Amino acid sequence: MNGSGRADLTRDGAVATIRFSGGPGGCMDEAMEAALLEAVKAVEEDYALRACILAGADPGVFIRHYDVATLHARAAAMRARGMTFSEARPVRESPIHEAMRRMEEGRVVWLAALNGTAMGGGFELALACDLRIVAPGPYRFGLPEINLGLLPGAGGTIRLPRLAGEAKALEMTLLGRTLSPEELAAAGLAILAEDAGAEARTLARRLAGKPPRALAHIKRLVRGLPEDRPGTERALFCDLMVSDDAFRLMGEWAQGRRGIEDEPG
């Protein structure tokens, strides 16, 4: 596997953290991409984990973007083979695509601690997370691939309009416009916090204390994964009603021992 990038997984109780480092200029390379997929698989297979934080290990960088030199080399190899592509023949998933799909479809809640710049594939990875926390600073966020004659190829054209709206997504992707941390938060794409890592850890621990079955069901519905969302929502609501966690917590409310805004204990 080409590259020196890493994605190191650590665990702290029910919360995991994956830190990225070592890519060229803070970019994702093939080694980081493969390591990310293995780390995501490990998190999903560990049922003691409820939340996972993604963060950059290098100062001022989450993941800058995918290494363009690697993409250029791939393009040269494809052109040499005379390869052509069309919508009639889908391209198979790469490790980054599989990792993001697993994050979206799985039971774990994913948080991006944006402690630095994230553009292109790095921003697409943040968009695949359930929550994003961003720190103020001289950082840029967005999908400027059009400036290289490309489009966002790891879900950006799908996830950005869903999260920010079609108009904002078109403005960002057609113009290649990137946002500051404050602009990112104003667009509703992230929570602004002085220390993104610390806030992400606080939220992850809070999430880890929520009933896990309810977390998974809510995430699936909000993500829009079921085709019949209203019918599925009704079924999953009733499924939770008869679950041990909900039955206990509703009983405590009925007994006057808790309010609906109290954290589950």
Q: What is the pLDDT of residues 110-123, one digit of tens each?
A: 999 999 999 999 99
Percent of the chain with pLDDT strictly greater than 90: 65
Q: Closest Cα partner for 109 from 13, 6, 203, 228?
A: 203
pLDDT at 108: 97
Contact 167, 159 (CB under 8 A): no
Report pLDDT digits (tens) over 81-108.
888 887 777 788 899 999 999 999 999 9
Q: What is the mean pLDDT of the chain?
A: 90
- Kindly tell me if the per-residue pLDDT of 221 is higher than 80: yes
Three-state secondary-structure class, residue 174: helix
Residue 241 has which token pair? 């009603």
pLDDT band, very low/low/confident/very high, at 246 (cuts 50, 70, 90): confident
Domains with residue ranges and CATH for the chain: 6-208 (3.90.226.10), 212-254 (no CATH)
Report pLDDT digits (tens) over 154-202.
999 989 999 999 999 999 999 999 999 999 999 999 999 999 999 999 9
Q: Any idea which residues carry the catalytic annotation?
A: 124, 145
